[in-house]
A = this chain, B = another copy of it.
Amino acid sequence: MKRKADVEGRRRVLCDAAIQILADEGAKGLTHRKVEQRAGLPDGTTSSYFRTRSALLRATAERVAELDAIDFEEVVQRCAQAETKTTDTTLSVLAEMVMRSAAGPALDRSRARYELALHAHRDEVLHSALQDVTTGFVALSERAVTQLQPGPVDRALVEKQARAITTFINGVSFRQVFGHPGVESAEELTQLLHALVAGVAASHHVHNGQL
Contact = CB atoms under 8 A, between A and B. Distances in A.
B195 A199 contact: yes
A25 B134 CA distance: 23
Nearest to A163: B182
A174 interface: yes
A171 B167 contact: yes
A69 interface: no
Copies in the complex: 2
B191 A195 contact: no
Contact of A199 (B169, B182, B191): B191
Interface residues of A, number: 45
Label chain A's interface by main secondary structure.
helix
A27 interface: yes
Contacts of A114: 114, 118, 174
A185 interface: no
A179 B26 contact: no
Interface string A101-128: 0000000000100110111111000010
Contacts of A120: 178-179
A177 interface: yes
Interface string A171-202: 11011011110110000000110111011101
Given A26-B28, A199-B199, 4 more contacts: A118-B118, A168-B196, A170-B171, A170-B175
